[in-house]
Amino acid sequence: MANMRDIRRRIKSVTNTKKITGAMKMVSAAKLRKTQGTLVAVRPYSDKIQEVMDHLLSGGEEYDTPFLTPRKEVRNILYIVIAGDRGLCGGYNINLLRFAEAQMKATPEEQRAMMLLIGNKAREHFRTRPQYEIMDVFSNIGDTPNVSQGKALSDYVIKKYLDGEVDEVHVVYSKFQSVLTQIPSVAQVLPIQVAEGSAEAEESGHTETDYIFEPGGKELLDVILPKYVDSSIYRLLLESKAGEHGARMTAMDSATDNASDLIDKLTLALNRARQAQITTEITEIVGGAAALE
């Protein structure tokens, strides 16, 4: 009887766990849809800034701006590492953080690599690794970062770059390909890298349409380039969060399926134990009756 009680207790515990993981899966799915919706809504704005910037840079005119001009000597490199605030999302966080460590280790010895950590998991991971230099930490970004959070982060990074404290800025994030696939990646945001199409058009001096800008191209770029950095960082924040929600949804789905399989196995074990008990009782009754004869 004690064995059957233990099995029933385990079945009840696993059933409760299954309810929790199933609820977490649905919550993550809802957060993923919301984040993806925000990402889709931001995309036209980001694409239009990219289009205007590419057109200005393809006009054959050279612009002297720190946003575009690489430093002659790169001494300090800043890596913005975007991880999650919570766990229970499979290997999402650890894969990203290991990739960030690999990027830091690949930095040449004559260059100084620093990190700006986004998320509690990144802070906890690198807090116990003093060999890596941490510039600052942004935590509790939330499930769906808003524009003001992205703007605050980009303003911080742009100020460090323009003040000369850092010479390059790279973002380490998880590229969201699907709910099942998030790929740790790195993207350079400062100085801004000109697209190949813009560079080729600039070399040939040919553009499809010749616009007249008022005010001039330099004045427009002074406004557009910071906004381009803002939109780039915000988009990568959203993409990382979408990857986190997708990874958590997948992990909770697997946990729910595993709980169902475990319940089936425990139920089978309970039925076998009950059958064995009944068989034993029948045997004892038959044996007792035979003894009385």
Residues recognised as catalytic? 89
Q: What is the Cα–Cα distance from 89 to 244, expressed in whole angstroms?
A: 7
Is residue 81 within 8 A of residue 116, CB to CB? The reply is: yes
Pairing of strands 168-176, 182-190: antiparallel
Tokens of 230: 């803002």
Q: What is the Cα–Cα distance from 8 to 91, expressed in whole angstroms?
A: 32
As a dihedral over the C-alpha atoms of residue 138, residue 144, residue 149, residue 155, rounded to 10 degrees, the angle is 90
How long a stretch of residues is the chain? 293
Distances (CA, A) of 256 to 34, 146, 259: 23, 31, 5
| Nearest by Cα to 178 from 99, 226, 119, 239 | 239
Q: What is the Cα–Cα distance from 114 to 64, expressed in whole angstroms?
A: 27
Specify the DSSP element, H or E, that contains 209.
Answer: none
